[in-house]
Amino acid sequence: MYFSKKITDLAAEAEKALFDRFAEIDAVSFTNTEKIMNSFKEHRVSETMFAPSSGYGYDDRGRETLDKIWADVMGAESAFVRHSIVNGTQALTIGLFGLLRPGDIMFSIAGKPYDTLDEVIGNTGKAGDGSLKDFGVEYMQSDLKDDGSFDLDRIKSVLEEHKEKIKVVFIQRSKGYLNRKTLSIAQIAEATKFVKSISPASYVVVDNCYGEFTETAEPTAFGADMIIGSLIKNPGGGMAETGGYIAGSARAVELASYRLTSVGVGCEVGATLGQTKSMFKGLFYAPHTTAQAIKTAHLAAYMFNALGFEVEPAWNEPRYDIIQTVKTGSPEKLCAFCRGIQAGSPIDSFVVPEPWAMPGYSDKVIMAAGAFTQGASIELSADGPLRPPYTVFFQGGLTYESGRIGIMSAAEEMIKLI
């Protein structure tokens, strides 16, 4: 691949500025890896646990052990992780339908959830399709303040007024398609404690997608009742081919498991069909792979800021997920960025991405993803809705080296339009 001297020099400059930050990222990766290895040792993980099961999947030691390890690593009482969960949206749907009942209220306290949950909640879509709204679940929302903090006065007011009906207090950790800061574990912990002080019976549910292993603890270690995520993001480590997880309090996970299978059955069944090894291996790799993605994001923040674009987070700020945003300012630049990422990918580098009306999204979306696993956000990818300010959201990088190449490729495409 050819890179101009301008982009090559800029990447080298960025790495010098980021030397200390990269060392901090490696330290977090070490702590999380140590935690995972200790749990593997405690639960005596062996090759026999990788054996596939079929049919009902009764007495699958690998599946049962992985659930226990997942709970350990997430600081939770219980957990289940399944290859049969098709994406993060389905995992969230399982959790929400597991906890909510007709007449209950779902109260989102970090603004609007990710676009793909709109139809699940019933904020968009057709009546009768089976949304939470169709089942008599009401939705309420509190936006974050301009500084990215929780609006505690608003949250307190709503909780006190509807305490008996608010079953789920929902927090989206990552920014999703919103132009706001990602929430830190400290912020989520504070909000959880605040909610529980007013409405202890409410379940605090965290959409944990993109945030796993960016810090040394997860929200369940600080009182969240449930965290939910996808295996083709951080916790799959680039090894899991598909899947999702739910972790949290024993009762919350039990209720979600009844939605996963059926009441009375829960986590006792589920054929693994040869997928267990990749999920074990993915969790083992996850802290390191996540660190590679975070380093790639820091590099991109430095380079695109230097090229005159507004970025979030800034290159010298801490980050709590793997997502980096760049406000491109026009549909042409948004598309150019995605073309560059695609051209700098290991798979389908010859493909030219185009915007399209993707199911579950309210605007046309352009996506670049030259990934080994389709849709894997832990692999370098970029996407964004074609709406002002034409922000591109990108994330991932299985290795820092390949992520660096992808970012340099995107920068080359962008400078043609500056």
Question: Mean pLDDT, 10 residues at a time, over the chain (418 residues)?
Answer: 94 98 98 98 98 96 98 98 97 98 98 93 94 98 96 98 96 86 97 98 98 98 98 98 98 98 96 97 98 98 98 95 96 97 96 86 89 94 92 95 97 94
Mutual angle of helices 61-74 and 276-306, in 10-degree steps: 40
Half-sphere exposure of 204 (CA within 13 A, CB side): 27
Superfamily of the domain at 5-32+284-415: Methioning gamme-lyase, C-terminal domain (3.90.1150.60)
Neighbour tally for 1: CB within 10 Å: 9
Confidence (pLDDT) at 193? 98
- Stretch(es) of the chain classified as CATH 3.40.640.10: 52-274
Q: What does pTM read for this prediction?
A: 0.95
Check if the beta carbon of residue 140 is closer than 8 Å to that of residue 106: yes
DSSP codes joined into one string, 365-378: EEEE---SSTT-TT
Fold classification of 52-274 (topology level) = Aspartate Aminotransferase; domain 2 (3.40.640)
Check if the beta carbon of residue 28 is closer than 8 Å to that of residue 215: yes
Confidence (pLDDT) at 126? 92
Report strand pairing: 166-172 vs 105-108: parallel
As a whole number of angstroms, the distance between CA 117 and CA 77 comes to: 26
Confidence (pLDDT) at 360? 66
- Stretch(es) of the chain classified as CATH 3.90.1150.60: 5-32+284-415
- The dihedral formed by the CA atoms of 54, 60, 62 and 66, expressed in degrees to the nearest 10: 110
* CA 207 from centre of chain: 7
Confidence (pLDDT) at 175? 86
Residue with tokens 């993803």: 369
SS3 per-residue string spanning 230-291? ECCCHHHCCCCCCCEEEEECHHHHHHHHHHHCCCCCHHHCCCCCCCHHHHHHHHHHHHHHHH
